[in-house]
Copies of this chain bind each other. A is one copy, B any other.
Amino acid sequence: MADRLELYHAEPLSNSLKVLAAIHEKGVPFVSHPINLRRFEQHEPHFLAINPAGQVPVLVHGECTIVESTVINEYLDESFDGPPLRPGTPYGRAQMRVWTKFVDESFRPALSFLAWARQMPTLVGALPEGEFERRLARIPLREKRDKWAMAARGGFTPREIEGWRQNLIEATGRIEQALAAGDWLVKDGFSLADIAVFSIANSLSSGYAEIMNEEIAPRTMAWLARMRTRPGVAAALAVPTPPSPVEKPPATPSDVSG
């Protein structure tokens, strides 16, 4: 395993947090390439050359490029020594994968869509006239382009918004219930299931405190605190967030394209 390991990632939130936490928990040395999502750097040509889908995180290991955070995390655990991040039995791994799948198919999309609905108008407002449309045209995935356009013009329906909020409420209940059986989501012990759920729940508990809090989800709040004190997770959370163009507008176009 002498091949160079490189990780393209954004700030420690969502899918980037998921992989940063796993790679730090694993204790594998890697080269970090921060990508600034607030400047839409993931859609710049230099990054599209690495992942044509224009999405972070991306792991490059020697000649191999691996995309999709959930896939990357299993790859890291299968490829490197260090503490195992997956249960030792097929049944344990199956339970772990039900959680990582749930994060990918329900928990993460619900929080992402709500975040876009909230933040996209501000991000767009901070750009010069016509710039958002130009950037939108560069998004390689049609489905994402459509969702962003919809978010930017406040076009999500009340039914959609309410559905995503319900997903977050149901996710909170599901996590709280699972933690009645033990300290970690899968009985066998700490695993990629905890890392995947934490990558979203950590933001939920701060950004949507009316949904996830001490009263509604005491076991979940204790588990979040337990997660944050793990050295690998703490190292991931300490990865700096790149500056936002809203707080400090880029001086020149070349500064934007990173």
Instruction: Please determine whether B74 and A94 come into contact, CB atoms closer than 8 angstroms.
Output: yes
A122 to B176, alpha carbons, bound, how many Å?
Answer: 40
Q: A98 in the interface, Cβ–Cβ < 8 Å?
A: yes
Taken residue by residue from 76 to 106, chain A's Cβ proximity to chain B (1 for < 8 Å, 0 otherwise) reads as: 0011000000000011011001100100111
A75 within 8 A of B: yes
Q: Does A68 contact B (CB under 8 A)?
A: yes
Q: Does A146 contact B (CB under 8 A)?
A: yes
The stretch of A162-170, A216-224, A239-247 in contact with B is A162-170
CB 8 Å contact bits of A30-51 with B (1 = contact, 0 = none): 0000000000000000000000
Q: How far is the CA of A152 from the CA of B90 in the complex (A)?
A: 39
C-alpha spacing A170/B142, complex, angstroms: 9
The docked-state distance in angstroms from the alpha carbon of A167 to that of B144 is 12
Decide if A70 is an interface residue (CB 8 Å cutoff): yes
CA distance in complex: A91, B104 (Å): 20
Q: Given A93-B78, A163-B146, are A67 and B104 neighbors across the interface (CB < 8 Å)?
A: no
In the A-B complex, the 4 residue pairs with the smallest Cβ-Cβ separation, listed nearest first, are A78-B90, A71-B97, A75-B94, A79-B90
